[in-house]
Amino acid sequence: MTFTQFALNNVRRNTRVYLAYFLSSVFTIMVFFSFAVNLFHPVISSRSGGAIEIIMGQTEAAILVFSFLFVFISVNAFLKVRSKEFGILMILGMTKKQLRKLIFLENMMIGYLAIVVGITIGFIFSKFLLMILSNILSCESLSFYFPYEAIILTTVFFTLIILGISALTPRIIRTSNIITLLKGAKRPNTEIKFSVILSFLAVLLLGMGYFMAVSSHLYGIHPFLNEIILFIEKLPYAEAVLTTSVVVGTYLFFPQLSIFVLHRMKKNKRFYMKRTNMLWISDLIYRIRDNARMLFLVTILSAVAFTAVTGVYALSSVVKDESLKDNPFALTYTSYSSNDKVKQHIELIDKMLESYGFKYKKYMSEVIKQVSGDKRTIHIIKMTDYNNRVSLLGLEQITLDKDQALLVPVYVRFDPKRDRTLSQKKVSLDNGNINLEVVGIAPKVIFYSGLFQNLVVVNDETYDRITGIQEKFHSYSYDIPDWMKTLEVTEKLREELGVGEHGKYFWSTRIEGYTLENQNKKLFLYVGFFLGAIFFLGASSFLYFRLYTDLNQEKSKYIGISKLGLSFKELKKVASIQIAVLFFTPYILASIHTYFAIKVLQTVLYSSVFKQFLIVMAVFLILNSIYFATVRSRYVNYLKRFIV
């Protein structure tokens, strides 16, 4: 028997032990490969540089990181189970180098078999993914192609992962301590230590992260708070600081804070000594300590999955809403005063819309651009034009005196307290010749988001008195009730009018923005659900692996207690509480993380996404409960066989 044969024998004759590891590798490779097939598809890669390629590329990178973690954790569990075997080999005089070689050879054999199987299954799966993708991009159906790039990428990356893992092996198996290895995977139940300082730090870090996430929503409650919020917002890499503090807080939560809580429960003797409470509390402390790192990973993976799914679901369900708010009018044509074709163009648009059978209503407004002495641009619209325009948008008609002004926001999301232009109390025009008092702020954008910043509504008489005119715009806005069908006519008009002419005119439609956003958001939805699904599956299987490995140790413990007279019903209760804590603590913590992550998302969205958050969390709660129920009943039934 040569060394290579030895490694081969290990793999060949140990299928039961290797199977879980092999299957998780196949699963990871399949996911990675099928996504790579999407990524390298000729149609997609030809659209390089666009949002699609970036989104897909980043998703693949996320899957890669996940793959490494997933394979590493399975390998870790798998090597821990075999520690006695390694102890024997070390005492027989195996060098560290030989051990590394053995693990490498075994991993290579399993890994390459997993790559072949994973890619084969991935071929079929990727066909399915391509179908979804071509539907999303509403392009010609993405044909099946021979994905040699994806095959190379998958093979190279997983070879690197295998190499990385064999390099890390001596760290996983503490080769220096042969005696411990020979005793096997059993860990001594040493006294649990926790530190009040670290528990406090966990609370502090989580609190800080959460506070940073919601800070912009809290502005204006108290002046001192405002100072803090402004300080946070000016912080460099605020997002990185936020993420790090939540991640570190979560990392400390399990070995410190949760033990701290259980320890308090233990101190409360009336609760602790009551019936079976003592059993599950004292045992749970050890289980959490032993599984702290795994629970941390499960929490983070679940939080990523929940956030991805909630985020994309929220984005996609508000996309129509958002484009309505972004573009109150279906079509807006804006002309500079030097544009001599304005009449011709408007007639063309009217005729075109009519020929397609659209009903429409046109609103024309005149807007003056003025640049004040201190180089600030101000746009002015008269009261009549404003009232005419907002009659469609459902806003109140206004009446202004000669020395009054109304401010209009330029972006959909605006903050009257913090926006520099919207918070001015007085407006002066014509270098101080006309001074107006601000009486209010319009509640909505009245052209489209981004057009005419620092827009002021004034009395018609005042408007006519204005002398400093940098530019006079004429803006024609069309309201088309059937705007969802205007894509074709827009394309026709683009052929005639192009995108506009610098210094002459420009125009935009709601349907174009909507279509682009819709496609991007559907892609997000696809990617988000995909990532969410594999991360959630991954997180769940970590838990399962762990329970499975611990089962033997648990079994002997339960047999022992049952001999002392613990009824099966009580045993079921004890086991259920423990498994429930292991299953639902990460879920609860992850959903809190997600809530705050969504708060960050909320700052860039106009519509509230709380409802979507609740729906997604409910779906995951149901999935998690089904999974819990299955695992629990299998677990309890297994124990039942051994109970006296």
- Residue whose CB is less far from other proteins, 100 or 573: 100
- Residue whose CB is less far from other proteins, 3 or 128: 3
Q: How far is the CB of 93 from other proteins (least distance, A)?
A: 3
With tokens 């010749």, the residue in question is 433
- Residue whose CB is less far from other proteins, 170 or 468: 170
- Residue whose CB is less far from other proteins, 104 or 313: 104
- Residue whose CB is less far from other proteins, 95 or 268: 95
Q: How far is the CB of 638 from other proteins (least distance, A)?
A: 22
Q: How far is the CB of 88 from other proteins (least distance, A)?
A: 5
- Residue whose CB is less far from other proteins, 94 or 533: 94
Neighbours of 285 (CB within 10 A): 20
Q: Contact 312/528 with Cβ under 8 angstroms?
A: yes
- Residue whose CB is less far from other proteins, 10 or 624: 10
Q: Using alpha carbons, select from 276, 308, 299 the residue that is nearest to residue 571.
A: 276
Q: Contact 381/429 with Cβ under 8 angstroms?
A: no
- Residue whose CB is less far from other proteins, 18 or 33: 18
User: How many Å apart are CA 301 and CA 313, to the nearest integer?
Assistant: 18
Q: How far is the CB of 612 from other proteins (least distance, A)?
A: 51
The DSSP 8-state label assigned to residue 255 in this structure reads I
What DSSP string describes 348-392?
HHHHHHHHTT---EEEEEEEEEEE-TTS-EEEEEEHHHHHHHHHH
User: How many Å apart are CA 533 and CA 531, to the nearest integer?
Assistant: 5
* Beta-carbon contacts of residue 282 (< 8 Å; ≥ 6 apart): 266
- Residue whose CB is less far from other proteins, 176 or 567: 176
- Residue whose CB is less far from other proteins, 109 or 201: 109
Q: Render the burial of 132-150: b for 16+ CB within 10 Å, e for the rest.
A: ebbebbeeeebeeeebeeb
User: How many Å apart are CA 65 and CA 357, to the nearest integer?
Assistant: 53
CA atoms within 13 A on the CB side of 580: 10
3-class DSSP state of 614:
helix
Q: How far is the CB of 190 from other proteins (least distance, A)?
A: 12
Q: How far is the CB of 220 from other proteins (least distance, A)?
A: 55
User: How many Å apart are CA 498 and CA 348, to the nearest integer?
Assistant: 13
What's the chain's length in residues?
644
Q: How far is the CB of 567 from other proteins (least distance, A)?
A: 35
- 558, two tokens: 């339960």
| Dihedral sign computed on CA atoms, order 626, 537, 639, 20 | positive
- Residue whose CB is less far from other proteins, 101 or 573: 101
- Residue whose CB is less far from other proteins, 81 or 601: 81
- Residue whose CB is less far from other proteins, 69 or 178: 178
With tokens 């959490």, the residue in question is 288
User: How many Å apart are CA 86 and CA 172, to the nearest integer?
Assistant: 12
Q: How far is the CB of 556 from other proteins (least distance, A)?
A: 17
Q: How far is the CB of 641 from other proteins (least distance, A)?
A: 22
CA distances from 257 to 45, 204, 205, 263, 268 (A): 48, 11, 12, 10, 17
CA atoms within 13 A on the CB side of 303: 22
- Residue whose CB is less far from other proteins, 9 or 244: 9
- Residue 618: exposure state from Cβ atoms within 10 A (0-12, 13-18, ≥19): exposed
Q: How far is the CB of 297 from other proteins (least distance, A)?
A: 30
Q: How far is the CB of 188 from other proteins (least distance, A)?
A: 13
User: How many Å apart are CA 339 and CA 51, to the nearest integer?
Assistant: 35
- Residue whose CB is less far from other proteins, 183 or 474: 183
Q: How far is CA 411 from the centre of its chain?
A: 25
- Residue whose CB is less far from other proteins, 192 or 248: 192
- 186, two tokens: 């059993």
* Beta-carbon contacts of residue 234 (< 8 Å; ≥ 6 apart): none
Q: How far is the CB of 258 from other proteins (least distance, A)?
A: 26
- 211, two tokens: 């506070």
Q: Using alpha carbons, select from 327, 322, 416 the residue that is nearest to residue 604.
A: 322
User: How many Å apart are CA 41 and CA 146, to the nearest integer?
Assistant: 9
The residues with which 406 forms a beta bridge, in sequence order, are 440, 457
Q: How far is the CB of 100 from other proteins (least distance, A)?
A: 11
User: HEC states along 560-603?
Assistant: HHHHCCCCHHHHHHHHHHHHHHHHHHHHHHHHHHHHHHHHHHHC
With tokens 């009040």, the residue in question is 196
Q: How far is the CB of 168 from other proteins (least distance, A)?
A: 18
Q: How far is the CB of 559 from other proteins (least distance, A)?
A: 21
3-class DSSP state of 447:
coil
Q: How far is the CB of 46 from other proteins (least distance, A)?
A: 50
Q: Which residues bind other proteins (CB under 8 A)?
A: 1-3, 6, 9-10, 12-14, 84-85, 88-98, 175-176, 178-179, 182
